[in-house]
Structure 1
Amino acid sequence: MSYSDFKTLDKAINDLNLTLKESHNLFAQVPPIQPSQRLTEALEETLELATNISTEKARSELILTPILLEVRRIFQGRIGYFSGISFNVDENRGLNGVCDFILSASENQLLITAPVMTVVEAKDNDIKLGLGQCVAEMVAAQVFNDRKGKSQTIYGVVSTGTLWKFLTLETQILTIDRTEYFIAQLAEILGILAEPFRNYFR
């Protein structure tokens, strides 16, 4: 069993003993961050291309990656960025396998270092299909941080590139924001992605 075996949100919640909360506008108080000219120009070139190709890989490479790298630049490279990396934390609970993207509050790029702050699951068509896997990866990040004595609220994201849905995990409480953000709301998306690091580095 691995992250990809958590096919539904219900399975992740039940198997991992979580309590689900839903919130409307969970991140309404988070200040937006205007995208840089560099990111704006990159997405002008790649956004239409990615949506026309319309595969998970294209959306990951051409939309998600430039946005996540922008967050890394916002914090002057103090964020560890990992893509398509194995994150094996607890095989007995199915908390193992490959994560699409992981962001950590560490400059270390040779290996994942605690605290892991954000996990991002890329989906090419249906946000709901990625929720269970994303939640399992969030629990793995929580366990990983706890073992290192660096417990943090874990942020999770499921994105098609053009549509973004955010989650948080604190102890056993999983909160899902009912609000979904479209790529046209890029400043709000960047603000939410930066929020856990803004809190950590303040």
Structure 2
Amino acid sequence: RQETLIYPILREIFRHHADRLSLFSHRALSINGDPDLTGTPDYLVSHRSPLGRSVMGKPLIVIIEAKQDDFTGGWGQCLAELVAAQMYNDDQDTPVFGIVTNGDTWEFGLLRRTDFILDIAPFTVRNLPELLGALDFAFRQGEISDTCANVC
């Protein structure tokens, strides 16, 4: 589902933000090289690093596939990745967005400090303009959440 349903939708929004953000697929998120603090989200959006497109900047959005339509399990994995992203960023004040999707239904959440907020209304591809708008909002919030003025 990832390559046929999820990626084309992400790519459509990402192309409008490619000058400031990077999109990674199955890129490990490792905290201080600790194998116990390493996870691999299905997709990850980060600030674009000044070191180039292939170097991950600060993670901003974590996208997890709800395998076998298991959104509860998907959110468990996503929340763990969101905490890892906060640790990677060394910043709990900057919100990190989480998305869990099976390709048809897309659920959005946000972690800031220790507060996790899950949007109770999922988006679906049946209303593609609304879904693309929600994704664009998350990408734009990521762009303005940190200007990368120091180190990404």
Whether contact under 8 Å (1:155, 1:196) holds in the other structure is: yes
Match of 2:64 in 1: 121
Correspondence 1:159-178 to 2 at 5 A: 159-178=101-120
Match of 1:142 in 2: 86
Whether contact under 8 Å (1:72, 1:78) holds in the other structure is: no
- Relative to its length, the structure with more strand (as a share) is 2
Using the TM superposition, give the Cα deviation of residue 97 of structure 1 relative to its aligned residue in structure 2, in angstroms.
2.4
Using the TM superposition, give the Cα deviation of residue 154 of structure 1 relative to its aligned residue in structure 2, in angstroms.
0.5
- Residues 38-89 of structure 1, C-alpha deviations (whole Å, 9 max, x = no match): xxxxxxxxxxxxxxxxxxxxx1001111111112112244320100111111
Identity across aligned pairs (percent)?
30
Match of 1:179 in 2: 121
Whether contact under 8 Å (1:105, 1:197) holds in the other structure is: no
Among 77, 81, 84, which residue is 2:23 paired with?
81
Among 116, 136, 146, which residue is 1:194 paired with?
136
Secondary structure class of the residue paired with 1:138: helix
* Ranges in structure 2 where 5+ consecutive residues have no aligned partner: 145-152
Match of 2:149 in 1: none
Whether contact under 8 Å (1:99, 1:121) holds in the other structure is: yes
Secondary structure class of the residue paired with 1:71: helix
Using the TM superposition, give the Cα deviation of residue 146 of structure 1 relative to its aligned residue in structure 2, in angstroms.
2.1
Whether contact under 8 Å (1:84, 1:101) holds in the other structure is: yes
Using the TM superposition, give the Cα deviation of residue 165 of structure 1 relative to its aligned residue in structure 2, in angstroms.
0.7
Secondary structure class of the residue paired with 1:161: coil
Q: Using a 3 Å threshold, how does the CA distance of structure 1 residues 200 and 123 change in structure 2: closer, same or farther?
A: closer
The answer to which structure, 1 or 2, has the higher relative contact order (CA under 8 A, 6+ apart) is: 1
- Relative to its length, the structure with more helix (as a share) is 1
Secondary structure class of the residue paired with 2:57: coil
Using the TM superposition, give the Cα deviation of residue 104 of structure 1 relative to its aligned residue in structure 2, in angstroms.
1.0
CA distance in 2, matches of 1:113, 1:100: 17
CA distance in 1, matches of 2:47, 2:132: 16
Using the TM superposition, give the Cα deviation of residue 201 of structure 1 relative to its aligned residue in structure 2, in angstroms.
4.1
Could you tell me the TM-score, scaled by structure 1's length?
0.62
Could you tell me the TM-score, scaled by structure 2's length?
0.81
Among 38, 53, 77, which residue is 1:96 paired with?
38
Is 72-81 or 163-172 further displaced after alignment? 72-81
* Cα RMSD, aligned residues only: 2.3
Using the TM superposition, give the Cα deviation of residue 200 of structure 1 relative to its aligned residue in structure 2, in angstroms.
4.8
Is 173-182 or 184-193 further displaced after alignment? 184-193
Of structures 1 and 2, the larger Rg is shown by 1
